[in-house]
C-alpha cells in the first residue's frame, strides 16, 4: 500500500469546505458556512434575548452545529423545488 506523500494543507481544507466531490463550488456549503458565521455573530450580540426564548436558541444552535439537518428539515417542509405543489 502506497503512503500518501502530500500533507494536508490549509488551502486543501479550505477548498474541501466549499467544494463538492466534483471540485465545483457547492452553493449549499457556502450558504451553510455563511449562515453559521452570521448566527455566531447574532448569538454573540443578542445572547440575553435568545436565552429568554429557548426555541430560538435551540434553532440557532442546531443550525450552527448541524446545518445539513436544518437543510433537510427545510426541504421536508417546503419541498425541493422540483415537485408540484399540493
pTM over 0.95: no
- Expressed as residue numbers, the domain containing 41 is 24-77
> Residue 51 falls within a domain, yes or no?
yes
> Residue 64 falls within a domain, yes or no?
yes
> Residue 12 falls within a domain, yes or no?
no
> Residue 8 falls within a domain, yes or no?
no
- For the stretch 40-81, pLDDT in tens is 898 889 888 888 888 887 877 777 788 777 777 777 777 666
Q: How many domains does the chain have?
A: 1
> Residue 39 falls within a domain, yes or no?
yes
> Residue 5 falls within a domain, yes or no?
no
Average pLDDT, the chain: 76
Helices 67-78 and 54-65, axial angle in degrees (round to 10): 110
Indicate the DSSP class of residue 61: H
Rounded distance between C-alpha atoms, residue 67 and residue 43, angstroms: 16
> Residue 19 falls within a domain, yes or no?
no
Amino acid at each position: 500500500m502506497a503512503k500518501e506523500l502530500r500533507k494536508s494543507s490549509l488551502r486543501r481544507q479550505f477548498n474541501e469546505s466549499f467544494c463538492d466531490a466534483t471540485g465545483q463550488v457547492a452553493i449549499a456549503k457556502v450558504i451553510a458556512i455563511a449562515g453559521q458565521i452570521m448566527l455566531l455573530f447574532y448569538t454573540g450580540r443578542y445572547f440575553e434575548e435568545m436565552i429568554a426564548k429557548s426555541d430560538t436558541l435551540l434553532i440557532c444552535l442546531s443550525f450552527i452545529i448541524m446545518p445539513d439537518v436544518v437543510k433537510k428539515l427545510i426541504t421536508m417542509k417546503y419541498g425541493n423545488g422540483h415537485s408540484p405543489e399540493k
